[in-house]
């Protein structure tokens, strides 16, 4: 999750650098989980998304179109835009606020043969100083009377990192991801999903703009800055278990737990619970709570003792020790459109998440009057909004 003078990723992990790789992988693996050997429905989605927190604002539209052919093939395309403006703590302490735009295009093909489902997807995104591409393939098969689904997926991404104002700077980053999914229907009301994912990154993995700070008694503020430097490889793995239980009155309970670790020394876990309640046949409410916690990277420090004090150096707060709480709510409303003969139904959705971040070893340099390293820890709150309308045909 990399700041630069530009802030590539929000703490959501869903925007910016490497997103093409993540979205391409997610779109295929999402279709593989619990699909029950049927193609996804024909649909068109129009979405508006917005993130606002910590001085960073991201919003924009997204359009997804999916169409099946002869109950064997389903093709889809997605266009996604991020309009980014940032005056985050990283920006205001080391650079100037900025604005930029990221455009992303994804296309995919799904194929169904009996109880075997296959998906292929390609995603490309472009910014003024970052290009990302990703290709993903996944396959799943139903066993034991469709009670068990096993899926495997592979994704490969290749990015080009540039630096605005420096035409000679160009670096590559390559990513590979392997994933195994197991979905099991335990009873008619209870389903469980297990998955394991391994990711390898290689190349330029740090940020061409971000700097770390080190203690400097000759500086009037007591510290100075130098460029960050990351290892050129990273291996990570994550294991997750998710369950859904359907209650007698058509409501459902959902819960999941995920554990993550990587070769940079970061260990993290999150747990989430959600409750989905139908008020009528057409109106459904949802509420959720999520907790996330992680340790910092081995080479992270808020303040290094002196210049080039170690081989690798980072002061990205997303590599620090921190935790966050998320409280979310959503509403979905289905409606019929008998005046449009080729449309089966429509659906309106609105989801809002409120996120609270608390960093343990990333200090707020905007607060003055403290000795270097003694500044108060940084924390902030953010709001995420997703509003979209879907048409099924």
pLDDT at 262 over 90: yes
Q: Is 255 part of a structural domain of the chain?
A: yes
pLDDT at 211 over 50: yes
Checking DSSP bridges between strand 56-69 and strand 43-53, what pairing results, if any? Answer: antiparallel
pLDDT at 15 over 60: no
Which one has a higher pLDDT value, 28 or 60? 60
In DSSP terms, 334 is beta-bridged to: 347
CATH number, domain containing residue 241: 2.40.160.40
State the average pLDDT over residues 202-227: 95
State the average pLDDT over residues 305-332: 97
Per-residue confidence band for 36, with pLDDT thresholds at 50, 70 and 90: low
* Residue 157 contacts residue 134 (beta carbons within 8 Å): yes
Q: Is 288 part of a structural domain of the chain?
A: yes
Task: Dump pLDDT digits (tens) for 125-182.
Answer: 999 999 999 999 999 999 988 899 999 999 999 999 999 889 999 999 999 999 999 9
How far from the centroid of its chain's Cα atoms is residue 381's Cα?
18
Q: How far apart are CA 228 and CA 209, in angstroms?
A: 8
* Residue 382 contacts residue 32 (beta carbons within 8 Å): no
Q: Percentage of residues in the chain with pLDDT exceeding 70?
A: 90
Q: Is 14 part of a structural domain of the chain?
A: no
Q: Is 242 part of a structural domain of the chain?
A: yes
In DSSP terms, 94 is beta-bridged to: none
Q: Is 127 part of a structural domain of the chain?
A: yes
Question: pLDDT value at position 378?
Answer: 97
What mean pLDDT is reported for the chain? 90
pLDDT at 326 over 80: yes
Question: pLDDT value at position 343?
Answer: 85
Q: Is 306 part of a structural domain of the chain?
A: yes
Q: How far apart are CA 135 and CA 25, in angstroms?
A: 8
Q: How far apart are CA 232 and CA 131, in angstroms?
A: 18
Question: pLDDT value at position 98?
Answer: 79
Q: How far apart are CA 213 and CA 203, in angstroms?
A: 24
Q: 3-state SS string over 39-88? A: CCCCEEEEEEEEEEECCEEEEEEEEEEEEEECCCEEEEEEEEEEEEEECC
Q: Is 3 part of a structural domain of the chain?
A: no
Question: pLDDT value at position 157?
Answer: 97
Which one has a higher pLDDT value, 263 or 36? 263
* Residue 48 contacts residue 24 (beta carbons within 8 Å): no
Question: pLDDT value at position 341?
Answer: 81
Which one has a higher pLDDT value, 304 or 96? 304
Residue 189's region, left for phi above 0, alpha for psi from -120 to 50, else beta, is alpha
Per-residue confidence band for 13, with pLDDT thresholds at 50, 70 and 90: very low
Backbone angles phi, psi at 281, to 5 degrees: -65, -25
Q: Is 11 part of a structural domain of the chain?
A: no
Q: What is the span of the domain harbouring residue 34?
A: 19-392
Domain count, the chain: 1
Task: Dump pLDDT digits (tens) for 54-86.
Answer: 999 999 999 999 999 988 999 999 999 999 998
Which one has a higher pLDDT value, 1 or 349? 349
State the average pLDDT over residues 273-302: 97
Q: Which of 90-99, 113-122, 358-367 is predicted least confidently? A: 90-99
Per-residue confidence band for 38, with pLDDT thresholds at 50, 70 and 90: confident
pLDDT at 332 over 70: yes
Question: pLDDT value at position 338?
Answer: 83
């Amino acid at each position: 999750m990399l700041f630069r003078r530009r802030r590539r990723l929000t703490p959501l992990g869903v925007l910016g650098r490497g997103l093409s790789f993540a979205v391409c992988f997610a779109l295929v693996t999402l279709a593989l989980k619990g699909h029950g050997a049927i193609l996804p429905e024909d649909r068109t989605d129009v979405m508006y998304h917005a993130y606002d927190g910590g001085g960073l604002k991201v919003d924009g539209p997204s359009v997804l179109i999916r169409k099946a052919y002869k109950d064997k093939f389903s093709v889809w395309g997605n266009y996604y835009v991020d309009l980014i403006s940032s005056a985050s703590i990283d920006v205001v302490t080391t650079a100037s606020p900025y604005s930029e735009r990221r455009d992303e295009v994804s296309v995919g093909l799904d194929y169904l043969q009996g109880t075997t489902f296959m998906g292929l997807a390609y995603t490309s995104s472009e910014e003024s100083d970052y290009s990302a591409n990703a290709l993903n393939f996944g396959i799943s098969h139903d066993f034991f009377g469709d009670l068990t689904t096993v899926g495997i997926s592979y994704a490969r991404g290749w990015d080009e990192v540039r630096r605005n104002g420096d035409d000679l700077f160009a670096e590559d980053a390559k990513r590979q991801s392997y994933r195994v999914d197991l979905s099991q229907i335990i009873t008619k009301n209870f389903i469980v999903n297990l998955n394991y994912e391994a990711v390898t990154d290689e190349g330029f993995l740090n940020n061409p703009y971000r700097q770390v700070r080190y203690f400097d008694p000759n500086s009037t503020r007591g510290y100075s800055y130098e460029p960050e430097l990351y290892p050129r490889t990273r291996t990570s793995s994550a294991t997750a278990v998710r369950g859904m239980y359907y209650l007698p009155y058509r409501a459902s309970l959902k819960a999941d737990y995920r554990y993550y670790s990587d070769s940079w020394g970061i260990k993290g876990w999150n747990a989430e619970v959600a409750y989905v309640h139908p008020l009528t046949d057409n109106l459904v409410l949802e509420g959720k709570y999520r907790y996330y916690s992680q340790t910092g990277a081995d080479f992270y420090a808020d303040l290094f003792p002196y210049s080039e004090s170690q081989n690798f150096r980072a002061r990205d707060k997303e590599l620090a020790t921190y935790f966050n709480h998320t409280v979310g709510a959503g509403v979905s409303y289905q409606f019929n459109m008998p005046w449009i003969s080729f449309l089966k139904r429509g659906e309106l959705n609105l989801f809002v998440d409120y996120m609270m971040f608390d960093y343990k070893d990333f200090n707020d340099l905007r607060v003055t009057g403290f000795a270097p390293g003694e500044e108060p820890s940084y924390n902030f709150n953010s709001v995420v909004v997703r509003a979209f309308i879907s048409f099924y045909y």
